[in-house]
């Protein structure tokens, strides 16, 4: 039984749109050896007169995501899309379907012409396509969720990334939306839980293995000093009560948040070339 849920992270303000998938060695964000279940998370940040959607989900989840969105978002509310990884299917898979159903007024993207990056279906070159106004993501942007300037969020480049990746911080709810970082908490079954306030799984050894066996294979023996400084800057700059990643369980509570950052810093410190000898890492090497 697939898990599909709209979780209200902050009443009326932030919603997690969570849909499960099986871990069977065919999900690029997880180690080939990982088994069990996980969720993809899209997030709706909203005000009465405007909303932001972070990521649009896999095509396989199109129907539930459209229904979940419709349950909390009226079709006329101006909606802004922020695909946090414009090159990845989980971020962009339903962008066009959402634009056709809801009042998408803007897309923030590192590439111009967002519609070119969100449309995967139309075979007919003459078919009419919904165009989406695009604003380029560059540096740190402070954006208004509504129109009154009362709900500003920070949108910025992820300090540790593989592909072009965006993180978002919402000061009002103190939630950090971390895209493909802090995604290591899968579960044995799709029953979850997918919002956790206790965590005995996150250890340095576990996170090290997870990072090296997924999209951060290159960290072994890398120069991690500036990466650590970039991550430390985020936790120092923002008052974070919750980490909301693009995949996996959401971490709730200051103590849990601080632990996630501390473990990540510890892993990066140990992987630095001053501690770990650099090595060529072939595809599929498990660590």
Partner 1 sequence: MSGMTNNPLPRELAPGVFWLGNCLEQHYRGRSYHGYNSCYLVLGDRAALLVETGHPKDFPIIERQMGPILARHDVPLRHLFITHQETPHSGGLGRFLARHDGLTVHGDISDYHMAFPQFADRLRPMEVGDAIDLGGRMFMTAEPVVRDIGTTLWGFDAGERVLFPGDGFAYSHYHWDGHCGLVAEEATSLDLIETAAVFAELALFWTNFADMRLYVDRLYELIEELEVTLVAPTHGLPILDLAVTMPKVCEGLVGANREAAE
16: preceding bond cis by omega (within 30 degrees): no
152-179 burial, b for 16+ CB within 10 Å, e for fewer? ebbbbebbbbeebbbbbbbeebebbbbb
Is 221 a binder of partner 1 (CB under 8 A)? yes
156 lines the binding site for partner 1 (CB under 8 A): no
Compute the radius of gyration of the chain from its Cα atoms: 19
* β-bridge mates for residue 18, sequence order: 5, 41
Nearest C-alpha neighbor of 17 from the set 70, 87, 75: 70
Between 47 and 86, how does the x/- string for binding to partner 1 read (CB under 8 A)?
A: -----------xxxx------------------------x
Q: How many residues contact partner 1, by CB under 8 A?
A: 52
User: How far is Cα 204 from Cα 264, in angstroms, rounded to an integer?
Assistant: 7
Binding of partner 1 by 88 (CB under 8 A): yes
37 interacts with partner 1 by CB under 8 A: no
- Min. distance of Cβ 160 from partner 1 in angstroms? 9
204 binds partner 1 (CB under 8 A): no
CB closer to partner 1 out of 25 and 133: 25
Work out whether 209 is an interface residue with partner 1 (CB under 8 A): no
d(CA 64, CA 61): 6
Could you list the residues that contact partner 1 (CB under 8 A)? 21, 25-28, 58-61, 86-90, 92-93, 111-113, 116-117, 119-123, 125, 161-164, 213-219, 221-227, 273, 278-280, 282-284
């Amino acid at each position: 039984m697939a898990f599909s849920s709209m979780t209200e992270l902050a009443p009326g303000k932030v919603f997690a749109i969570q849909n499960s998938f099986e871990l069977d060695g065919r999900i690029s964000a997880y180690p080939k050896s990982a088994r069990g279940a996980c969720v993809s998370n899209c997030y709706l940040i909203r005000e009465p007169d405007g909303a932001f959607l972070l990521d649009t989900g896999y095509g396989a989840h199109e129907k539930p995501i459209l229904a979940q969105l419709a349950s909390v978002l009226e079709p006329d509310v101006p909606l802004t899309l922020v695909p946090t990884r414009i090159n990845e299917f989980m971020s962009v898979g339903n962008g066009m379907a959402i634009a056709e159903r809801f009042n998408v007024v803007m897309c923030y993207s590192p590439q111009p012409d967002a519609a070119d990056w969100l449309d995967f279906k139309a075979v007919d070159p003459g078919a009419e396509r919904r165009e989406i106004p695009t604003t380029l993501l560059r540096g740190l942007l402070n954006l208004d969720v509504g129109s009154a300037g009362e709900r500003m969020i920070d949108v910025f480049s992820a300090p540790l990334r593989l592909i072009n990746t965006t993180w978002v911080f919402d000061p009002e709810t103190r939630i950090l939306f971390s895209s493909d970082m802090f995604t290591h908490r899968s579960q044995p079954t799709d029953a979850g839980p997918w919002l956790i306030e206790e965590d005995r799984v996150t250890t340095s050894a576990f996170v090290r293995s997870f990072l090296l066996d997924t999209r951060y294979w290159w960290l072994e023996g890398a120069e991690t000093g500036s990466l650590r400084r970039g991550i430390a800057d985020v936790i120092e700059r923002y008052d974070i009560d919750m980490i909301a990643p693009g995949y996996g369980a959401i971490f709730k509570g200051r103590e849990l948040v601080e632990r996630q950052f501390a473990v990540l810093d510890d892993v990066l410190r140990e992987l630095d070339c001053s501690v770990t000898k650099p090595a060529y890492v072939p595809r599929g090497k498990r660590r």
